[in-house]
C-alpha cells in the first residue's frame, strides 16, 4: 500500500481501489475512455491499459491523440495515417490482439464529408476556405473528430468482430468541459439558427425582426466584412445536407458513451491543479450520468527509506563540514523527496475527502520515460497493483 492510501486509511477514509483488471476482464466493457488535463500521462495510461487488456486476451484497438514520438514508434504508429495497425511483439498467448492508431483530425473530417455527400458537393466543401480552417484549426474539432473516430471504430468492431475493446485517449482539453461539450457545440453551431439565417436570410421568424435584422446584418458586415459573409454562405450551402447528420452522430456517440459498455478513467497526477481538473471531470461525468470507473493517479512518489525530512536534514548538517559530500547530497535529496511525498499525500487526501466514493489506483513515479512495450507493461502492472 502506498503512503497516501495508508494515511487515508488512517484518517478513516478507505479509498476504494480502482480494479483495472476487473474492468478489462469484463467482456461487457467495450469502450474505455481516458480523460484528464494536459501533461498527466493520459496517452501512456491509455496505451498501458490497451496492452494489458490485449495480453489478457481482449482484441483491442487503441486510439491515441498525440503520443510522444518514441512511444508512437514502439506502438508502430509513427505514421499519421488514420489507420489502425497491429502492434507486433505483444504476448498473444491469451488469444488477444492489439491495434494502435493515431488520430488524424483533418482526414477524419474529410472522410465524414466524403461519406455523406455527393462527389461534387464533397469537392466543393473540401476546397472551401472556411472548411479548411474549420477542419484543421477550430479548437473543438479534435474533440469532435476523436468522438467521430470512436463511433466509426465501434461500428466496425460490431460489424467485423475485429475488436472487442476500444481504448480512447482524449485530446488535451482546454478545460474539463471541452471534451464533452465540443461535439455538441460544433453540431449546434453547424445546425444553428445563425447559419440557417445566413443561408436563407429571407425565411423564418427572423424575417419579421425588421429593424433588429438590419442592425444585425450591419453589425456583421462591420466585424466580419462582406467577403467573409459570402464565404460562409458558400460553405453553409454546401454543408447543408450534412447538418442533420452531425447532430445525429453527436447524439448517438453521447448515448454510446453513457451506455454500460463504456467506462471513463480520469487521469491525474498528485498535484494541486491536476487534481482540481480531475475533480471537475469527476463531477461533470457524474452530472451527465456517464459511467465513471475511477481515477488513475500517475507519478506518485514513493520511498523505501522511512527517515523524516527533518532528521535527514539534521544528519546532513552534522556532516556539512566533512568530506562526506555524497552523503550530504543523498540526505538532502532524501529530505526533498520526503517533503514532496508529504505534499502529494496531502493533496490526495484532500481529494479523497472531497470525493470519497471515487475509486483510485496509483502508479508510482518511474525513473525513466515510458518509451517501449516493456515499460508500458510495467505501467500496466503498477496500474493493476493494489499494494
Partner 1 sequence: MTPRHTLHIVSGKGGTGKTTIAAGLACALATSGRRVLLCEVEGRNGISELFDVPPLTGRGERRISRTPAGGTVYGLAIDAQEALVEYLDTFYHLSVAGKALDRFGAVDFATSIAPGLRDVLLTGKVYEAVRRKIKSRPNAYDAVVLDAPPTGRIAQFLNVNLAVAGLAKVGPIRSQADSIMRLLRSATTALHFVTLLEDMPVTETEEAVAAVRPTRIRIGMVIENMVTPSPLDNDQLQTAASGSVILKVPGLTIKQNQALASEFAIEAARTLQEQQRHDRLTALSLPLVQIPFDPGGIDEGAIFAIAEQLTDQIALEAA
Window 121-180: residues binding partner 1 (CB under 8 A): 129-130, 132-134, 137-140, 172, 174-175
Chain positions 256 to 285 lying near partner 1, rule: CB under 8 A, are 269, 271-274, 276
- Please, are residues 82 and 101 in contact by the beta-carbon 8 Å criterion? yes
Grid coordinates 498501458 are at which residue?
48
Restricted to residues 357-386, the positions that interact with partner 1 (CB under 8 A) are 367-369
Stretch that binds partner 1, among 26-34, 249-257, 314-322, 378-386 (CB under 8 A): 314-322
User: What is the nearest approach in angstroms of partner 1 to the Cβ of residue 48?
Assistant: 16
Q: How many CB atoms lie within 10 A of CB 202?
A: 8
Binding-site size, partner 1 (CB under 8 A): 74
Cα–Cα distance for residue pair 324/311, rounded to 1 Å: 17
Name which of 256 and 315 has its Cβ closer to partner 1.
Answer: 315
Least distance (Å) between residue 204 CB and partner 1 = 12
Asked if residue 353 binds partner 1 (CB under 8 A), the reply is: no
Among 241, 325, 374, 381, contact with partner 1 (rule: CB under 8 A): 325
DSSP3 helix / strand / coil % (the chain, rounded to 5):
60, 10, 30
Give the angle subtended at the CA of 297 by the CAs of 279 and 361, to the nearest 5°: 105
Considering beta carbons, is residue 216 or 256 the nearer one to partner 1? 216
The C-alpha atoms of residue 118 and residue 340 are separated, in whole angstroms, by 59
Of 183-202, binders to partner 1 (CB under 8 A) are 185, 189, 192-195, 197
Could you give the angle at which helices 272-287 and 325-354 cross, rounded to 10 degrees?
20
| 295 phi/psi in degrees, rounded to 5 | -115, 140
Dist. CA 387–CA 369, nearest whole Å: 22
Phi, psi of 88 (to 5 degrees): -85, 175
Q: Looking at residues 232 to 251 of the shown chain, list those that interact with partner 1 (rule: CB under 8 A).
A: 232
For residue 255 the three cell numbers come to: 448515448
Helices (H), 140-191: 141-160, 178-190
Among 93, 222, 287, 323, binds partner 1 (CB under 8 A): 222
Strand partners, 60: 98, 165
Q: Which of residues 43-72 bind partner 1 (CB under 8 A)?
A: 66, 68-70
Nearer to partner 1, 163 or 235 (CB): 235
Nearer to partner 1, 160 or 323 (CB): 323
Distance from the Cα of residue 170 to its chain's centroid: 2
Which span (18-26, 93-101, 111-119, 304-312) binds partner 1, by CB under 8 A? 304-312
Interacting residue with partner 1 among 347, 352, 363, 376 (CB under 8 A):
347
Cell digits of residue 115 = 461519406
Q: Cβ closer to partner 1: 198 or 256?
A: 198
Q: Alpha-carbon torsion 14, 19, 23, 25, what sign?
A: negative
Beta bridge partners of 295: 266, 360
Residue 172: CB minimum distance to partner 1, A: 5
Select from 329, 145, 159, 326 the least CA-distant residue to 249. 145
Neighbours of 278 (CB within 10 A): 25
Judged by CB under 8 A, the residue of 13, 115, 224, 241 near partner 1 is 224
Out of 126, 313, 340, 382, the only residue in the binding site for partner 1 (CB under 8 A) is 340
Which residue's CB is nearer to partner 1, number 263 or number 298? 298
Contacting range for partner 1; rule: CB under 8 A; set: 34-42, 80-88, 92-100, 241-249: 34-42
Indicate the DSSP class of residue 68. Answer: -
Closest approach of Cβ 30 to partner 1, in Å?
29
Nearer to partner 1, 40 or 295 (CB): 40
Is the Cβ of residue 165 or residue 232 nearer to partner 1 in the bound state? 232
Which residues within the stretch 78-117 sit at the binding site for partner 1 (CB under 8 A)?
none
Please report whether residue 219 would count as binding partner 1 according to CB under 8 A. Answer: yes
Q: Name which of 100 and 236 has its Cβ closer to partner 1.
A: 236
Nearest to 346 by CA among 11, 2, 1, 4: 4
Amino acid at each position: 500500500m502506498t503512503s497516501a492510501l495508508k494515511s487515508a486509511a488512517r484518517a478513516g477514509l478507505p479509498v476504494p481501489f480502482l480494479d483495472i483488471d476487473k474492468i478489462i476482464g469484463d467482456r461487457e466493457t467495450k469502450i474505455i475512455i481516458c480523460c484528464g488535463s494536459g501533461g498527466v500521462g493520459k496517452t501512456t495510461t491509455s496505451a498501458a491499459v490497451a496492452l494489458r487488456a490485449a495480453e489478457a486476451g481482449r482484441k483491442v484497438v487503441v486510439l491515441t491523440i498525440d503520443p510522444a514520438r518514441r512511444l508512437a514508434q514502439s506502438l508502430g504508429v509513427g505514421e499519421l495515417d488514420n489507420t489502425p495497425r497491429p502492434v507486433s511483439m505483444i504476448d498473444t498467448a491469451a488469444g488477444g490482439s492489439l491495434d494502435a492508431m493515431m488520430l488524424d483530425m483533418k482526414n477524419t473530417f474529410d472522410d465524414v464529408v466524403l461519406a455523406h455527400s455527393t462527389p461534387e458537393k464533397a469537392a466543393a466543401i473540401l476546397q472551401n476556405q472556411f472548411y479548411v480552417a474549420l477542419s484543421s484549426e477550430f479548437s473543438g474539432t479534435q474533440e469532435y473528430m476523436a468522438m467521430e473516430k470512436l463511433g466509426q471504430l465501434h461500428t466496425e468492431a460490431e460489424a467485423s468482430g475485429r475488436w472487442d475493446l476500444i481504448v480512447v485517449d482524449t485530446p488535451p482539453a482546454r478545460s474539463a468541459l471541452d471534451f464533452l461539450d465540443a461535439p455538441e457545440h460544433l453540431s449546434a453551431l453547424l445546425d444553428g439558427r445563425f447559419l440557417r439565417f445566413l443561408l436563407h436570410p429571407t425565411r423564418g421568424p427572423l424575417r419579421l425582426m425588421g429593424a433588429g435584422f438590419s442592425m444585425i446584418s450591419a453589425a456583421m458586415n462591420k466585424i466580419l466584412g462582406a467577403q467573409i459573409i459570402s464565404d460562409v454562405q458558400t460553405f453553409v450551402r454546401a454543408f447543408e445536407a450534412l447538418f442533420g447528420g452531425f447532430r445525429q452522430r453527436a447524439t448517438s456517440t453521447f448515448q454510446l458513451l453513457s451506455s454500460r459498455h463504456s467506462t471513463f478513467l480520469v487521469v491525474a497526477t498528485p498535484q494541486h491543479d491536476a487534481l482540481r481538473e480531475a475533480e471537475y471531470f469527476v463531477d461533470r461525468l457524474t452530472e451527465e450520468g456517464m459511467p465513471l470507473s475511477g481515477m488513475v493517479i500517475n507519478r506518485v512518489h514513493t520511498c523505501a527509506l522511512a527517515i523524516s525530512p527533518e532528521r535527514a536534514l539534521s544528519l546532513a548538517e552534522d556532516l556539512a563540514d566533512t568530506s562526506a559530500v555524497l552523503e550530504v547530497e543523498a540526505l538532502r535529496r532524501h529530505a526533498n523527496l520526503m517533503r514532496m511525498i508529504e505534499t502529494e499525500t496531502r493533496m490526495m487526501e484532500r481529494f479523497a475527502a472531497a470525493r470519497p466514493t471515487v475509486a483510485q489506483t496509483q502508479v508510482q513515479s518511474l525513473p525513466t520515460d515510458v518509451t517501449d512495450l516493456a515499460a508500458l507493461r510495467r505501467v500496466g502492472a503498477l496500474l493493476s497493483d493494489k499494494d
